[in-house]
Amino acid sequence: MANTRTVYPARRSRHGRWLPANERALSDFRTSLANHAAKRTSEVLSPPVCELTALIETTSILRMHLTQAIRRALMLERSRKDIKLGYSTISELMVLIDSVMTMSLPFSTSAMVGCPINALLDWPMCMPEGFAFFQFAEVNEKFKKILRHWGRFLSGPNSREYLNTRSPDGWFSAEASESIDMSLFECDPTAQFHGFSSWNDFFTRRFKPGARPVAGTGDPRIVVSACESTPYQIRRHAALLDAFWIKAQSYSLRDIFTARRSDLADQFIGGTVYQGFLNAYNYHRWHAPVDGIVVEAYSVGGTYYSDVASEHLDPSGPNNSQGYITAVAARAIIVIDTRTPGLGLVACVFVGMAEISSCVVEVSPGDTLKKGDELGYFQYGGSTHCLIFQPHVKIEFGPRPPFNEQAALVEVNAHLATVAL
């Protein structure tokens, strides 16, 4: 096994708290899911999981890659006590993935598993063969169907199992109130499930009017935060094409906007990229960072569990690959023309990550926006996002790098940066 002397930490960086930082907590989750799956009364898998299984079984290179990735993960399991993979074959993995299809998510202060499929794939996806497996378009197309299938469950009434005040796993419990102040959101605490129709309805909840006031209204110099998020990175002099797959993970504009929209990417060459990540407990809707007119609004298909190989065998889910996934993952791109010479075009890139991959765009080209107007949302949860500014823009950000997962949250609609006009 490559790099066998690597020291794997018991705790890993987990931006956004979508997965536990403690490896033992993840192992306990996989073990409990395996125990639950062992009690299944039916061996019939849901249709999209059947499709993925058939694809792997009938495509030798895919079967070879995933089999070897699982074998390497099992070798790692045998070398240390805190890792339990929970499965040893592709067929066992498919059963566990299928078990997630009717799974709702409990609140947890210490072992939140907001991305259960990511938790199952956490070690195989960062093995050499895993890097290759999760880049195949056919594999991602099948995972897209699987995630849409689970999404339909999360959008239905049976997904509300944990939308209650029960301690300690209810989302309205005393423990949860330490992470989420529901008094800020539109809901009815006197109604069952606080009035939410589904898990997704809860996760895409809206702030009450005035809960997040818009900074610098009427002042084009003030750019506000498009998401309730934590700063991840600021990069100047973005290139049209760059090596986004290496350790430094530079931003590659043509890959972000896609090759068919290279004309759009050209307008941001040499510009500035700001990236922030969303927390599992935070607000998950996107808002306009500037005044202007929508000139582009489109979605891009992509990968779901592809990590950058330069992160080697110390995975943090896709978190350590956040720069990389801006160019490869499923995402939505909205470009706003501010009609202000010193600011010009501002591109907003909302990136789906693992299970958080359904980007819902609510604006269209030609729409006139005021700073703070809603642009769209992540259907179930949140992920990461970028704001990209043109090269002539003289912009200074309030948050200052270097950043880590302890960086202060920037509230949506709050002052993010100032432009010299």
Please tell me whether residues 255 and 287 are part of one structural domain.
Answer: yes
Domain co-membership, 322 together with 291: yes
Residue 419, strand partner residues: 395
Residues 255 and 328 both lie in one domain:
yes
Residues 284 and 175 in one domain: no
Looking at residue 113, its pLDDT comes to 63
Whether 111 and 251 map to the same domain: the answer is no
- DSSP at 214: P
| Integer-rounded Cα radius of gyration of the chain | 21
Let me know if residue 209 belongs to a domain: no
Q: Are residues 133 and 98 in the same domain?
A: yes
Does a structural domain hold residue 213? no
CA 201 to chain centre: 18
pLDDT for the residue numbered 70: 97
pLDDT for res 279 = 79
Whether 171 and 78 map to the same domain: the answer is yes
SS3 at position 27 = helix
Residue 292 belongs to some domain of the structure: yes
Of the candidates 357, 380, 361, which has an alpha carbon nearest to the alpha carbon of residue 201? 380
408 belongs to a structural domain? yes
Question: Helices (DSSP H) in 268-364: which residue ranges?
Answer: 322-328
Say if 214 falls within a structural domain.
no
Report the pLDDT value the prediction gives residue 349, as an integer from 0 to 100.
96
Could you tell me if residue 216 is inside a domain? no
Q: Are residues 176 and 260 in the same domain?
A: no
- The number of distinct structural domains making up the chain is 2
Write down the pLDDT at residue 116.
87
Which of 203, 233, 263 lies at the terminal end of a domain, its last residue?
203
User: pTM value?
Assistant: 0.88
> Would you state the pLDDT for residue 228?
93
- Residue 207, classed as helix, strand or coil, is strand
- Is 396 exposed, middle or buried, given 0-12, 13-18 or 19+ CB atoms closer than 10 A? exposed
Instruction: Verify that 57 and 166 share a domain, yes or no.
Output: yes
pLDDT in tens, the chain (421 residues): 333 333 444 444 455 555 656 778 888 888 888 888 888 767 789 999 999 999 999 999 999 999 999 999 999 889 887 889 999 999 999 999 999 999 898 888 766 666 888 889 988 988 889 988 988 999 999 999 999 999 999 999 999 999 999 999 999 999 999 889 999 999 999 999 999 999 999 989 999 999 999 999 999 999 999 999 999 889 999 999 876 544 455 788 999 999 999 999 999 999 999 999 887 777 899 999 999 999 999 999 888 877 655 444 544 444 456 667 787 888 999 999 999 999 999 999 999 877 766 789 999 999 999 999 999 998 775 578 999 999 999 999 999 887 766 778 899 999 999 999 8
Q: Which of 174, 203, 232 is the last residue of a domain?
A: 203
Q: Is 402 helix (H, G, I), strand (E, B) or coil?
A: coil
Residue 160, domain extent: 1-203
Sheet holding 374-379, edge to edge: 285-287, 374-379, 358-361
Task: Provide the pLDDT for residue 5.
Answer: 35
The enclosing domain of 397 has a CATH number of 2.70.70
The confidence score (pLDDT) of residue 18 equals 59
Residues 234 and 90 in one domain: no
Instruction: Name the strand (E) or helix (H) holding 331.
Output: strand 331-337
- pLDDT of 356 reads 64
Domain membership flag for residue 212: no
Q: Are residues 238 and 157 in the same domain?
A: no
Supply the pLDDT for residue 156. 95
pLDDT the model gives residue 26: 83
AA letter at 259: A
